[in-house]
């Protein structure tokens, strides 16, 4: 086995926002020499050279349906959604590249990275992060720590995250009591068209003391019909569209208001519809641990406090105005 380099010799290029957050959490912020266009947390990383750009026309300004249609059309043609700046990558001379092979929409995946690697004079170590569960996310943290000489730091991040989740789970379990079914939750990972939650998010809901009947635990998120949402009759609805913060998700909520049966949903009648910062859920990094606490707070607000940023949650009124 090749020994891990000292942190001072690591030159890391992260093509994943979640991996960037992991690297910073284990003390590698100064070693990150290149990032993707979506890497925006923590703030200290935003001045690094950007190697990845979206090929979707108008991405960032287009509406949800337009983004979904453009992405689907591009993938059907066998084209990539992202462009990697190969010349910049070569100049940065990374010792490590962190990427993924889980979702072609979320970030550069196998084909783009393989093509970019061919142009490098020296081949860096490539870490592939493609988690499906919370345990997989922890293992990704361990692997990053092992490859960069930060094993102890990775272990500390994992243990702190576990403790935070366990506190939320214990409080949620106490709140639920015995003999009471867990509240039904619908987590929407996209709003137009509607996508259910997949992979680790339904697991997060369970740890928070709820159940997502439409969620796909450890499997891909898929489109769901509005009729399926009505039949699931969620008691709590949480909008966490991938790539958007809570304020943006709240503006998108207007697309659901006025749909047949909206006012009849238990979540709407109880005024328990929320928009949240999707980074706590769609980025499989250290903030998913806090995401469990956020969910537990929404499901059991009197028993579980949310200790993160206040603007990570926005309550949506039943008559929320359409997106502007």
The answer to whether 7-130 and 182-315 have equal CATH topology is yes
The pLDDT of residue 20: 98
pLDDT (tens digit per residue) in 268-305 = 999 999 999 999 999 999 999 999 999 999 999 999 99
Considering the four listed CATH numbers 1.10.3720.10, 1.10.1200.10, 3.40.50.1980, 3.40.50.620, the one that applies to the domain covering 182-315 is 3.40.50.1980
Looking at the chain, which runs of residues are DSSP E strands?
12-14, 32-36, 50-54, 82-84, 96-99, 125-128, 185-191, 194-196, 198-199, 216-217, 236-239, 273-276, 313-315
Mean pLDDT within 218-243: 96
The pLDDT of residue 69: 74
For the chain, which residues make up each domain, given as ranges?
7-130, 182-315
Query: Do residues 87 and 133 lie in contact, with contact meaning Cβ atoms separated by under 8 Å?
Result: no
97 falls in which pLDDT band (50, 70, 90)?
very high
Q: What's the whole-number average pLDDT of the chain?
A: 89
The pLDDT of residue 113: 72
Look at residue 78 and tell me whether its pLDDT is greater than 70: no
182 alpha carbon, distance to own chain's centre: 24
The pLDDT of residue 324: 41
Q: Return the structure tokens found at 226.
A: 């509005």
258 falls in which pLDDT band (50, 70, 90)?
confident
Lowest mean pLDDT among 131-140, 220-229, 311-320: 311-320
pLDDT (tens digit per residue) in 110-151 = 566 777 777 788 899 999 999 999 999 999 999 999 999 999
Specify the CATH architecture of the domain 7-130.
Answer: 3-Layer(aba) Sandwich (3.40)
């Amino acid at each position: 086995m090749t020994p891990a380099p000292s942190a001072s010799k690591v030159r890391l290029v992260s093509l994943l926002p979640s991996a960037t957050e992991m690297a910073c959490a284990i003390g590698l912020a100064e070693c990150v020499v290149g990032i993707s266009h979506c890497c925006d947390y923590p703030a200290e990383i935003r001045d690094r050279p950007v190697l990845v750009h979206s090929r979707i026309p108008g991405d960032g300004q287009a509406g949800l349906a337009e983004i979904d249609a453009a992405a689907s059309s591009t993938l059907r043609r066998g084209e990539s959604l992202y462009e990697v700046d190969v010349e910049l990558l070569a100049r940065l001379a990374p010792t490590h590249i962190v990427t993924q092979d889980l979702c072609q929409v979320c970030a550069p995946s196998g084909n783009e990275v393989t093509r970019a690697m061919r142009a490098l004079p020296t081949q860096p170590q490539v870490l592939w992060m493609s988690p499906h569960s919370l345990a997989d996310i922890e293992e990704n943290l361990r692997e990053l720590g092992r490859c960069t000489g930060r094993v102890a730091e990775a272990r500390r991040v994992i243990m702190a995250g576990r403790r935070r989740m366990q506190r939320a789970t214990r409080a949620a379990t106490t709140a639920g009591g015995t003999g009471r079914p867990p509240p039904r939750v619908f987590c929407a990972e996209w709003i137009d068209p509607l996508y259910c939650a997949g992979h680790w998010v339904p697991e997060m809901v369970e740890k928070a003391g709820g159940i997502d009947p439409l969620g796909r635990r450890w499997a891909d998120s898929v489109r769901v019909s509005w009729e399926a949402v009505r039949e699931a009759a969620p008691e709590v609805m949480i909008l966490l569209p991938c790539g958007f913060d809570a304020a943006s998700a709240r503006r998108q909520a207007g697309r659901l208001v006025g749909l047949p049966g909206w006012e009849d949903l238990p979540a709407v009648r109880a005024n328990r519809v929320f928009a949240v910062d999707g980074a706590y859920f769609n980025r499989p990094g250290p903030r998913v641990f806090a995401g469990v606490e956020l969910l537990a707070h929404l499901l059991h607000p009197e028993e579980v406090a949310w200790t993160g940023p206040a603007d990570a949650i926005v309550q949506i009124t039943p008559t929320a105005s359409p997106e502007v």
